[in-house]
Structure 1
Amino acid sequence: MDTRFLESFLAVVDSGSIAEAARRLNLTPAALAQRLRALEQDLGQPLVLRAGRRVRPTAAGLAVLEPARRLIDSTRDLRAIAAQDEPAGQLRLGAIATSLTGLLPEVIARLRERHPRIDYYVRPDSSVNLYQAVLGGELDAALMVQPQFPVAKSTGWLTLRHEPLVLIVPAALAEDDPHRILTTQPFIRYDRNQWGGQVVDRFLRQNGLKVREWLELDALDAIAGMVSRGLGVAIVPDWAPPWPEGLRLRRHALPGAGGRQVGVLWTLTGARIAALQAFVAACRARNDETGQA
């Protein structure tokens, strides 16, 4: 049995969609569907049911789900164990959207030069979900916002960036007083379910600022795009470039507003510890060379 077919089955179940699973695995939907059919023929049972664009596991699919996860995890661990402490095998990483474009490519590029036997699975998600995924063993490490509480003792933390809060406004807005802008202009709020959004909310409440909120979004690039089109103003962390191209906006510093810390959270044990330590070392090397933290 080809373990890649099992990985495809797990991706479909986890995402609930063949199209989304294909995107995550860098396959075409047709190729992924072919893998599913081959696995079902091998096991002699249908594993998924299709209802429109959504997919859910059959009774047989549910029965093999957890054994399939254990088998995939064991296969990944075998690669790392066989390397005898040389960094190798698959690293399961998570990243928030801004780190996915602004930090992770740089770190992986550094790592691949020294340790080409490491390969990668990367899961985009919110910091809240990534934190739980590292604690639960679903991910080895995650580039995410530091929580406002002490991280679990089973994990390590390294800060990579301090991202101060900034007020972004349309380029055509002539007003320069941040407090006046915030109380007179339509406000686009950074989602309060996100840890970074909670920092913004705390700043507004501590300063008694009553904003004219009309929209709440969890995607920083989408917020910047809305502001660029003149649809409002927003407070966002000054995240790692690149920002979307073609934005027509201005940034105002907010002294004393605080910000968010972005860094890497990782598990301290596991079969892939050599590869994980190499990843953390690459993150530290980036900090040493850039002087950021």
Structure 2
Amino acid sequence: MDVRFLETFVMVASCGSIAEAARRLHLTPAAVAQRLRALEHELGHSLVNRVGRTVRPTPSGLAVLARAGELIEAVRDLKSAAANDLPAGELRLGATATALTGLLPGILARLGERYPRIEAFIRPGASADLYNSLLAGELDAAVLVRPHFPLPKAANWLTLRHEPLLLITPADSALEDPHRALAQLPFIRYDRNQWGGQIVERYLRQHGVRVREWLELDALDAIAALVDRGLGVSIVPDWAPPWPEGLRLRRQRLAGGEVRQTGVLWGRSGPRIAAVQAFIECCAAR
């Protein structure tokens, strides 16, 4: 059985559409349909029902779907094992939004040059979600914000960037005292559900700063854009460039605040450990 055909079936079942599955797999709809037919012929059962432009798994298809993920994962692990510990095969990575734009492009370029046999898959997400996915074995490594609690003993950590807290105000702001600016102007808060947002919250509490709450967002670039338009002020970590272009901001480093650490977290063992170690090597060389 060609595992690519099984992967195609899983994608079709997930999308509910051959056309959408073809778009995500970078294939033509005809090629996707051909793979489905080949898999159905090999298994001797119809796997999907076609109703107009939508498709749904048949009872046989649902039974195959229940085992497909396990089989696909086993084949990927075999590829890694067959590489005889050389960095090769799939590498499942997670990354936060700022890491995707500011840190990961250079690291991935280096990885591709040094280890062309590694195929990287990237899942974007919030640090807490990526952390849980890594511990569940769904990811091999993740570039995220270091949590406030101790890391598990089965995982390793490499800090890539120290990011102090910044007060950002419109460029023409005349207020020199950061705490006065926070007390007088509308406050655009970095989402407290984010680990970085919790660092901001701890700063405000530790310094007894009361703010004029206006808006809470989890997107740092959007916060910066709102401040640029004069809609308020905010406290954000000094995240890795690029920042949105054309912004006119005043950025003041806040003394006495925590420094957000952005880095890579990975498990110490696993079938893809050679590829993971190659990725860490490229992270450390940045």
The residue that corresponds to 1:275 in the other structure is 275
% same residue: 60
Q: Distance in 1 between matches of 2:253 and 2:79?
A: 48
In the alignment, structure 1 residue 221 sits paired with structure 2 residue 234: no
The residue that corresponds to 1:119 in the other structure is 119
The residue that corresponds to 1:204 in the other structure is 204
Residue 110 of structure 1 aligns to a residue whose secondary structure is helix
Amino acid corresponding to residue 130 of structure 1 in structure 2: L
Q: Distance in 1 between matches of 2:18 and 2:248?
A: 37
Residue 180 of structure 2 aligns to a residue whose secondary structure is helix
Structure 1 stretches of 4+ moved >2 Å = 1-23, 25-28, 33-43, 45-52, 55-66
Structure showing greater radius of gyration is 2
Q: How many pairs does the alignment contain?
A: 280
Residue 100 of structure 2 aligns to a residue whose secondary structure is helix
> In the superposition, relative to structure 1, how do residues 130 and 48 fare at CA in structure 2: closer, same or farther (>3 Å)?
farther
Provide structure 2 residue ranges, at least 5 long, that are not aligned to the other structure: 41-45
The residue that corresponds to 1:96 in the other structure is 96
Q: Distance in 2 between matches of 1:51 and 1:186?
A: 49
In the alignment, structure 1 residue 155 sits paired with structure 2 residue 151: no
1:62-73 pair list within 5 angstroms: 62-73=62-73
Residue 98 of structure 2 aligns to a residue whose secondary structure is helix
Deviations 1:155-185 (A, max 9, x none): 1111111101101111122212101110011
Q: Deviation of residue 46 (structure 1)?
A: 2.2
> In the superposition, relative to structure 1, how do residues 104 and 244 fare at CA in structure 2: closer, same or farther (>3 Å)?
same
The answer on whether the counterparts of 2:47 and 2:57 sit within 8 Å (CA) in structure 1 is no
The answer on whether the counterparts of 2:167 and 2:235 sit within 8 Å (CA) in structure 1 is yes
Q: Distance in 1 between matches of 2:8 and 2:136?
A: 21
The residue that corresponds to 1:259 in the other structure is 259
> In the superposition, relative to structure 1, how do residues 115 and 138 fare at CA in structure 2: closer, same or farther (>3 Å)?
same
The residue that corresponds to 1:45 in the other structure is 47
Q: Deviation of residue 37 (structure 1)?
A: 4.4
The answer on whether the counterparts of 2:22 and 2:32 sit within 8 Å (CA) in structure 1 is no
TM-score by length of 2: 0.87
Deviations 1:176-196 (A, max 9, x none): 210111001111110100000
Residue 256 of structure 1 aligns to a residue whose secondary structure is coil
Residue 281 of structure 2 aligns to a residue whose secondary structure is helix
The answer on whether the counterparts of 2:47 and 2:58 sit within 8 Å (CA) in structure 1 is no
